[in-house]
Chains A and B, each alone.
Chain A
Amino acid sequence: MDAAQPSFASLTWRQYRLERRMFWRNPSAAFFNFMLPLVLLALFGAVFSGNQEDLDVIVPGIAGMSVVSTTFSALAYNVTAMRELGVLKRMRGTPIPSGAFLLGIAGHAITNTAMQMVLITVAGKLFFGVDWPSDVGEMVVFVVLGVVCFSSLGVALSHVIPNNESAPAYVNAIFLPLIIVSGVFYDAADVPSFLAGVAEALPLTHLIDGLSAAMVTGSGIGDQLSSIGVIVAWTILGVALAIRGFSWEARRS
């Protein structure tokens, strides 16, 4: 009767472990969240092979895209699926604090981001002639900023998605234009000015700029303050929308 409640940290860890275990049991999710960026890196790396300038663009570009796919896309899918399946409502009826539950899920997504960053960095060094990151600390700062920003935007997007079946359409309608406009595959400076203007307003462009500085050019974090500002602004918007529209119950009910 008087047994103590499990601690917040242990519950977060428990939820995190369950998410990890389920992730590897679901090959399609594992593929889209994890393998796709690596496949793209291999393909574009082959296309640009021998042209170091292009390779120097594609490696941080794919790293930025991976931050988006492992957090924004994955959480938009995951939160929508759990909401529509009724998992969120069921969890709400148990004693687990909402914060511990959501942190466990976010932690799972962030683990994928971290693994992805390591793999891309190693692949860049081994296969594409991109040296080890000149400033690992700066890279970590930008990855963390990107993760928080795109996680909150992913949760916010899930509020707009009406059901599971339409989730890929919503996610891709944003994800695909975003990665093209933001300069994942080419230098964003080379595009027509109207597109460059759009790109300047988007957080991924600035995340890629920051990752490029950390991984390739070696330009210090002091030169990236405006990029940090844009990412933080999107984060504030994302967090506000994520909290505001959150629903534990399926739309269909």
Chain B
Amino acid sequence: MSSSEFAIEVRGLRKSYGDLEAVRGLDFSVRRGEVYGLLGPNGAGKTTTVEILEGYRERTAGEVAVLGYDPQLRDRELRSRVGIVLQSSGIYRHVKVREVLEHFAGLYPDPREVDEVIELAGLRGKEQARTRTLSGGQLRRLDFALALIGDPELIFLDEPTTGFDPAARRGAWDTIRSLKALGKTVLLTTHYLDEAQVLADRVAIIKDGRILVEGAPGELGVGSGSVRYRVAWRNGSGLLNQQETDDPTTFLHELTSAALARGEKLDSLSVSRPTLEDVYLELTA
């Protein structure tokens, strides 16, 4: 049992497929109880990284510790303490939801109650349904349920809400929030920046196998000069103006002084911090 403050520690991680370098030296750590988001365009190396941490792939170089274990040794103890939602994975077609959950519960030393997991994953009312009759969204909820059934300390979610409608996404977000409330550590990859903004304590933006920036989603990029504040207002003739600035304090002071001097009101005046999306697009474009 490692009592380290970190659930995941990655140092100098590299992975090559032949001549292709998918991951080119990643360093990051995920604290226990944290929701950590990996963001980046397709082909950035997110899934390769996650699958190395899950024990599906062997790394080319670097050091990796997951709950204190080296995942590529595929220790059974480690596998019973993590839950995995893969980007896509199937399930037996001729079983009922409750049956398959009971089956998987039996594979773990100390599983959660099946009913509790059904509730948590939002599958109430579907317990007796055959898996082949479930919709895409319901199958994804079953993926969640199967990842949670072993009562893991650490949960990997690889693009868990891709293809969800807005209501289903909110449902999945609630589930992820309840995992956090239960003290679980979550490593999340996603294409949806709002998802990372809402759920993650910290995010890293990856491109071409490297981390470009890391931090809390609300603070990312601010002060680095790469992304600017946006100030918007209506002038005296009602026209909407917008200006980006590195230094909102000075800019606002000048803007408002000038307006006061002219006796104008600046209707709809607003200052917005750069969103995660602004930072992301700036960095990955």
Chain A interface residues (CB < 8 Å from chain B): 1, 3-6, 10-11, 14, 18, 21-22, 25-26, 84-87, 89-90, 92-97, 248-249, 253
Contacts and interface: CB of A to CB of B under 8 A. Distances in A.
A22 B94 CA distance: 6
A249 to B, nearest CB: 8
B86 A86 contact: yes
A94 B79 contact: yes
Most buried by B among A85, A87, A90, A97: A90
Interface in B62-118: 76-77, 79-80, 82, 84, 86, 88-95, 99, 103-104, 106-110
Nearest to A29: B94
Contact of B79 (A21, A95, A249): A95
B28 interface: no
Contacts of A85: 90-93
B150 A6 contact: no
B106 A89 contact: no
Given A3-B109, A5-B80, A95 B150 contact: yes
A94 B91 CA distance: 13
B212 to A, nearest CB: 26
A92 B99 CA distance: 19
Interface of B: 1, 54-56, 76-77, 79-80, 82, 84, 86, 88-95, 99, 103-104, 106-110, 146, 150
A94 B108 contact: yes
A249 B87 CA distance: 13
A93 B76 contact: no
A108 to B, nearest CB: 13
B104 A94 contact: yes
Contacts of B88: 86, 253
Contact of A90 (B76, B86, B93, B99): B86
A231 B92 CA distance: 33
Contacts of B108: 6, 94-95
B90 A90 contact: yes
Nearest to B80: A95
A89 B94 contact: no
A10 B103 CA distance: 12
B91 A1 contact: no
Nearest to A11: B107
Contact of A5 (B76, B90, B92): B76
